[in-house]
Amino acid sequence: MKTVISDERTQLLTGQLAIIFLVLTQVGLLGAILYRRYVLHIDEGNYNDLRIILAISVFGFIAAKILIGAHPPAIRPKLLLGIYIGFVVTMTIILSFWYGPPTLDNWHSTILPVLLGPALILGGYVALCRIAVQRQKKYESDD
Amino acid sequence: METDEIQNRVREARRIANLSQQDLADAVGVTRQTIGLIEANKYNPSIRICLKISAATGWELSDLFYISPEEQ
């Protein structure tokens, strides 16, 4: 009989290790980006590729976890609204400290990203949760 | 506080069935290391593996795996 070299335990272990090293890689990428920005003062355009890779990795992982996970997060509209407002207020305060208060003449690069960014993130989160719940419905029964 | 601990008698069943860890691993379709970890209660196998161990040893599932409450 053929000797098995990989089974559910080793596959589970591989999955756990993959997640650990994924997170370490993401933290490393973030460190590399922050180092270039704040220590080396390199222009953002020179490391945009790192930012895109990190964004795809982080958001892709979260999206996959929500879609494929067996327990999609509960959606409470009031909590979502609170998180959105919190995002907007926090980003406005931080960006105002860095770049000064936003002005209406360049609203598309100051006010719009602050309003639209969190809306897109939270909207994407809500959409993924709805899709995940719909996927699970076919396994539910009332008997 | 009571917690439940999953226990097993896989080692006992394997020895009575006159199987080595490798024999049981081959019959079940896992590595020998996995059988060792199951016997040492370091790994909880899926129901699929549990049923295969039951079939390979001839023991009932409820005799092989059980929950014993532990006092904390």
Site from A6, A8, A11 to mutate, B interface, most B CB atoms within 10 angstroms? A8
Q: What pTM, to 2 d.p., does this model score?
A: 0.71
Q: B2-8 and B65-71 as β-strands: parallel, antiparallel, unpaired? A: antiparallel
CA B19 to chain centre: 13
Per the prediction, chain A carries an average pLDDT of 87
Tens digits of residue pLDDT in A75-98: 788 898 999 999 999 999 988 888
Distance from CA of B34 to the nearest CA of A (A): 7
Query: Given a cut of 50, is residue A140 above it in pLDDT?
Result: yes
pLDDT one digit per residue (tens) for chain B, 72 residues: 445 688 999 999 999 999 999 999 999 999 999 999 999 999 999 999 999 999 999 999 999 999 987 644
Residues of chain A in Cβ contact (below 8 Å) with chain B = 1-10
Q: Which of A2, A6, A9 sits opposite B43 (nearest CB)?
A: A9
Q: Looking at beta carbons, which residues of chain A come within 8 Å of B29?
A: 4, 7
**What confidence category does residue A129 fall into, taking pLDDT thresholds of 50, 70 and 90?**
confident
The DSSP element (H or E) to which B39 belongs, if any, is helix B32-39
Tens digits of residue pLDDT in A110-128: 888 889 999 998 888 888 8
What's the confidence (pLDDT) of residue A89?
93
Q: Looking at beta carbons, which residues of chain A come within 8 Å of B46?
A: 8
> Cβ separation of B29 and A9 shorter than 8 Å?
no
